[in-house]
Amino acid sequence: MESTKFNKTQWKQLKKELLREKRHIWPGLRKAEKEQAFSYASRYMVFLSSAKTERESADMIARRAVDAGFIPVDQAKKGSKRILWCYKGKVAALAVLGTTPLVDGVRLIASHIDAPRLDLKQNPLYEEMEMAYLKTHYYGGIKKFHWFSRPLALHGLAMKEDGRSVDITIGEAPDDPVLVINDLLPHLAYKVQADKKVSEAFPGEKLNVIFGGIPLNGPRDASDPVKLGILRLLHERYGLREEDLVSAELEVVPAGPARDVGLDRAFVGGYAQDDKACAYASFEAITGLNRPRHTCVALFMDKEEIGSDGNTGAKSRFFELLFFDMIRLAGERLEPDTLLRVLMASRAISADVTAGIDPDYREVHEKRNDARIGHGICLTKYTGSRGKYSANDAHAEYMGWLRGVWNNAGIKWQAGELGRVDEGGGGTVAKYLAGHGLDVVDAGPPLLGMHSPFEVAHKVDLYMTCLAYRAFYEGHNGVIS
Ligand code: MN
Ligand code: MN
């Protein structure tokens, strides 16, 4: 039976030796690190503000990668060390070949560059009450009421039948018009909104975007004069006819740039931080590498928000093609089992955000196991719902290895999961990577207001995510400079 009585000093010593310290990272950072966290956030905000859609993100990653010395895979030769893939304009991947052979495994970070939004339908344009509107169909998990009565922008392209593409961005330049979905005035909303469940009060078919209001001056009995006026403008500016909208991908997103939040500017606020927070962090981490031991890969996937299906999602075979390309460019022998051996020796981070504890909604969080804002990148062993269903549950061996890497590099991290048991849940690309044989774990910064048009992240968590990804790539003892 334990009978020792511990004095104050011994108590303090025991706590220091045995307890895991949980505290906000900021006070412990050096002045230079604090400055770096803020300058990192500024660079991230430029990316967040200018690459809102998956196409814009893939395009910006590709352009900046070329500036950082990456060679497009179709121009790469045996011996090329920095390779860039851009697939269907919606997926990008970067690799820095290492000094060890690929069969020793690669270090892969997979994020996603799609985000919840409203897509235009294929027959979007119509006129009602002398106003032109666009019909939308939402993409990913949104709370529909977030999208009413706020400035919106239209991003995307229309394909002509001869293969020419027409880029369209409306609502971002300071003198651009913006779009809006009108909400109902409270005076008349008692029955159709206020008395209903939220899920029923805002039907998807009411997410119609106002797009014009000046009727053309035609014959007295002419129909749809506003719609025709809008089509005339679309033709003048973009050379489009109504049928071109069938082969268009036009996405309605919140208008305007990312902003600092808080008087002390602690936070970044902006659209699509799920998952640009991780995409940008992995981009800076991989472009900063010189000659790593293991080959390092950053994957920027599409379609995560709708289940990773489609040939640009994490389930697509683009993933395997990347590895075949790398094996070829590294000049390694390709036996029938080489691909599998490389995959099974590889380690990955599913780079995705998690939910930070929101003090106003403590009831959905479990305070001992959910991520705290300001406590660093969150390592999430499993996602899924109702008893880890559909989760990749990372192995203890892998968790142990990664925590060692991060501790050696001085990374501030926390371990948690998303919400209380049976409260809800979510998934990431982790399980699809794991299906290929890689060891995978989820890790990313906590967000507030995830999947809203204005998500919030702490700058210190964003910065620590980038450092953690870099340490994972370098993957052994040693402090990041
Ligand atoms: Mn995500
Ligand atoms: Mn998401």
Ligand nearest to the CA of 352: 1
The pLDDT, as a whole number, for residue 481 is 32
Q: What is the mean pLDDT of the chain?
A: 95
Does residue 480 have a pLDDT over 70?
no
Ligand nearest to the CA of 276: 1
The pLDDT, as a whole number, for residue 478 is 39
Does residue 368 have a pLDDT over 60?
yes
* Per-residue pLDDT reduced to its tens digit, 431-450: 999 999 999 999 999 999 99
If pLDDT is split at 50, 70 and 90, which confidence band does 475 have?
confident
The pLDDT, as a whole number, for residue 476 is 60
Ligand 2 centroid to 275 CA: how many Å? 7
* Residue range(s) in the chain whose domain bears CATH number 2.30.250.10: 117-254
Higher model confidence: residue 423 or residue 49?
Answer: 49
Does residue 283 have a pLDDT over 60?
yes
Ligand 2 centroid to 442 CA: how many Å? 13
- Mean pLDDT, rounded, for 57-64: 98
Query: Percentage of the chain surpassing pLDDT 70?
Result: 99
Q: What 8-state DSSP symbol labels residue 389?
A: B
Ligand 2 centroid to 4 CA: how many Å? 51
Query: Percentage of the chain surpassing pLDDT 90?
Result: 94
The pLDDT, as a whole number, for residue 2 is 76
- Mean pLDDT, rounded, for 222-237: 98
3-state secondary structure of 141: coil
Ligand 1 centroid to 413 CA: how many Å? 19
Superfamily, domain 22-115+271-480: Zn peptidases (3.40.630.10)
- The answer to whether the beta carbons of residues 383 and 424 sit under 8 Å apart is no
Q: In what side-by-side order are the strands of the sheet with 259-261?
A: 259-261, 267-270, 455-458
The amino acid sitting at 190 is Y
The pLDDT, as a whole number, for residue 425 is 85
3-state secondary structure of 424: coil
Superfamily, domain 117-254: Aminopeptidase i, Domain 2 (2.30.250.10)
Does residue 335 have a pLDDT over 70?
yes
Model's pTM, two decimal places?
A: 0.96
* Residue range(s) in the chain whose domain bears CATH number 3.40.630.10: 22-115+271-480
The pLDDT, as a whole number, for residue 21 is 86
- Neighbouring-strand partners of residue 132: 127, 212
Ligand nearest to the CA of 450: 2
Ligand 1 centroid to 101 CA: how many Å? 31
* Backbone torsions φ then ψ of 121, nearest 5 degrees: -70, 175
